[in-house]
Structure 1
Amino acid sequence: MRIQHPITGAMVALITPMLEDGSVDFDALASLVEFHIENNTHAIVSMGTTGESATLNQSEHIEVMQKTLAFAKGRIPIIAGTGANSTSEAIELTQAAKDMGADAVLLVTPYYNKPTQEGLYQHYKAVAEAVDIDQILYNVPGRTAVDLAVETAVRLSVIKNIIGIKDATGDLTVAQALIEQCPEDFLLYSGDDATAVEFILMGGHGGISVTCNVAPAEVSSAYQAAFNEDRKTAESINANLYDLHQHLFIESNPIPVKWALYKMGKCDSGIRLPLTKLSPQARSVLEQDLSNLGVISR
């Protein structure tokens, strides 16, 4: 039986729009929040990987989360990205998110320092005990160089305010193991656009999506069809997004998605070093996808 929860469905891993000089464009951020509310996105993740959390300092990080909440005005759940490779910093950011009224937080596995599975368990347990807010684990080993084992996720799933996991491995055998071993009320989210529809058809509760930045209505419709166990419709909608799912990772995320939104007129083309603008050779590929979707004209 599928869990009913306010934070399920199509969730966008929102970019942080920037001007050419790299400063955060809060006017564009307000417009993007409206864009997602109008197009049936079910929740917004602020300051996740796609939000360039690694290139903003802590005060900017907190301000972007605050502004996103202010622009949303309670009309859509806001999940704040508060992960860090320092447990104390993750606790500080998580406390800030709670204080500002975030609906939940998303905590990426501590990156670079490569903790053991016991270290990961103790890290997440410490954050959960320190801050009373709903918390979502986030496993993306392709970026962090550490993999949260299914067994560790299952250990953590019984902690009261750890409510779910975003699994971005793209490995559906991992998804199946999580579905089979975690408690029924533990929320399971895909973090891989290419396999998200199948993840939901297997029993997942939604996806935190990069593609949703560009095609929120389509992603939402595909996920809803999957929730309704209408495989044919879900796969048909998803097939039209297949090239976009792939090409939004033609270079490191969020380089392509920021370029796509710039071409759609949703934001300026600003991005912060060490990330750079999408290379000229990749632009034509992505622009063809956007043209095929009808969101730009060529």
Structure 2
Amino acid sequence: MFEGIITPIVTPFHRDTEESLNIDAMKNLVDHLIDKGVSGIFPLGSNGEFHVINNEEKMQFTKEVITHVNKRVPVYVGTGACSTKETIELSKKAEELGADVLSVITPYFIRPSEDELITHYTSVAESVKLPILLYNIPKNTRINISKRVLKELAKIDNIQGIKDSSGDIDNLAGYIEIAKGTQLKVLVGSDSKILAGYQLGATGAIAGTSNLITEILVGLDAAYRAGDLSKAEQLQQEIEELRSVLKLGTVPVILKRSVELAGIAEVGPARGPVREPNSETDQRIKAMLSYYQI
């Protein structure tokens, strides 16, 4: 675990009044990703719209994903919430359902102190036996896990990884330095920084773009591990065509529409208030898919 390309899957919804979970589409997406060689499936991340899914739906979706993956690859389940109490409740339930790893985002909306953050993560870790992956995404939470906090949390046996989506290569390098000599693994959470992160010592990446251009991401990982830096650099650059189009809408609506138009799975819309792309944006998406020959 904690290596290779892990896909934070989009959560498929029906185009009905309830924007209900589409389990069949999830199965199609998961099968496609595993067939393409991803190293893990990650439901209920940022691209999975965890922030607009209620807890009953979260556990229903988690159960369905774990059952369908059926141990083919590890399943990383996002269980973070604003309160320690709710995070512990979700983490325990995900553990009972058979998750392999728990991904715990920092609390958001509020800004806990460093000591409060250490207490939060310590309490969550003590409540379960599963490995825990810390999730750092300061552009969304306004909290950046400091080196001091990470040093303290790395002392806890089942805190075994951190995903850094800061986009700051110096921040990532700091985490990798702290991880040396510990059980902690560092995963890249910014798709544009995967190769740079690998060169610093990151062991894998949680890459939203792998929902669509899976072969490029898996190929980048394989090329680097095989020592083919030139190919890895080329594949890293190939991601930029998709990233330029993702900016045309609110996360993750463009990615979901791309997955649909590529014929991978009918993942449906993002939940409101996020709107579906208009016809002009659809044409931009189709041009991007043509670039990748999808």
Contact kept in structure 2, 1:201 and 1:227, CA below 8 Å: no
* 2:20 matched residue in structure 1: 23
Q: Secondary structure at the match of 1:137?
A: strand
Unaligned runs of at least 5 residues, structure 2? none
Structure 1 counterpart of 2:290: 291
Offset from partner CA, 1:21-44 (integer Å, 9 cap, x none): 211110000111100110001101
- The reply on whether 1:67 has 2:64 as its aligned counterpart is yes
Matched, 1:112 2:109: yes
In the alignment, structure 1 residue 12 sits paired with structure 2 residue 12: no
Report the 3-state secondary structure (helix = DSSP H, G, I; strand = E; otherwise coil) of the residue aligned with 1:275: coil
Give the alignment of 1:226-245 within 5 angstroms: 226-245=224-243
Letter of the aligned partner of 1:16 in structure 2? T
Q: From 26, 32, 35, give the equivalent of 2:32.
A: 35
Q: How does 1:132-171 map to 2 (within 5 A)?
A: 132-171=129-168
1:257 alignment counterpart: 255
Q: State the distance in 1 between where 2:14 and 2:6 align.
A: 25
Give SS of 2:187's match: strand
Cα distance, 1:284 vs structure 2 = 3.0
| 2:83 is equivalent to residue 86 of structure 1 | yes
Query: 1:30–1:71: 8 Å Cα contact kept in structure 2?
Result: yes
- 1:55-107 CA deviation, whole Å, 9 max, x = no partner? 11100001111100011111111000000011100001100111011110100
List alignment gaps of at least 5 residues for structure 1.
1-5
Is the counterpart of residue 274 in structure 1 residue 279 in structure 2? no
Is 1:189 aligned to 2:184, yes or no? Answer: no
Tell me which amino acid in the other structure corresponds to 1:46: P
Task: Determine whether 1:176 maps to 2:176.
Answer: no
Q: Deviations over 1:99-137 (max 9, x none)?
A: 011110100010001111111111111100111110000
User: Which segment is superposed worse, 197-206 or 228-237?
Assistant: 228-237
Q: Which range moved further: 56-65 or 258-267? A: 258-267
Secondary structure in 2 aligned to 1:118? helix
Letter in 2 for 1:66: K
CA drift at 1:243: 1.6
SS in 2 for 1:17: coil
The code of the aligned residue for 2:281 comes to: A
> TM-score scaled to structure 1, two decimals?
0.93
User: Displacement, 1:236?
Assistant: 1.0
Name whichever of 275-284 and 197-206 sits farther off. Answer: 275-284
Q: Is the aligned partner of 1:44 residue 2:41?
A: yes
Contact 2:253/2:269 (<8 A) preserved? no
- 1:230 & 1:157 partners in 2: Cα distance? 32
- Three-state SS of the structure 1 residue aligned to 2:51 is coil
> Which whole-Å CA distance do the structure 1 matches of 2:236 and 2:223 have between them?
10
1:240, distance to aligned residue in structure 2 (A): 1.8
Q: Provide Cα deviations, 1:145-170, integer angstroms capped at 9, x if missing partner.
A: 22211221122112100000000011
Distance 2:41 2:278 in 1: 28
1:254-284 CA deviation, whole Å, 9 max, x = no partner?
1111111111121143321122213444333
Q: Distance in 2 between matches of 1:249 and 1:199?
A: 23
Q: Which moved more, 1:248-257 or 1:113-122?
A: 248-257
Higher mean C-alpha displacement, 185-194 vs 283-292: 283-292
Rounded to whole Å, the distance in 2 between the matches of 1:252 and 1:258 is: 11
Number of equivalenced pairs = 290
Following TM superposition, by how much is the alpha carbon of 1:286 offset from its aligned partner in structure 2, in angstroms?
2.7
Verify the 8 A CA contact 1:158 1:183 in the aligned structure 2.
Answer: no
Give percent identity, aligned residues only. Answer: 28
| Counterpart Cα distance in 2 of 1:204 and 1:59 | 34
CA distance in 2, matches of 1:133, 1:183: 22
Q: How far has the Cα of 1:247 moved from its partner? A: 2.5
CA distance in 1, matches of 2:278, 2:115: 41
| Aligned residue type for 1:86 | S
Corresponding residue of 1:3: none
Cα separation, 1, equivalents of 2:206 and 2:285: 21
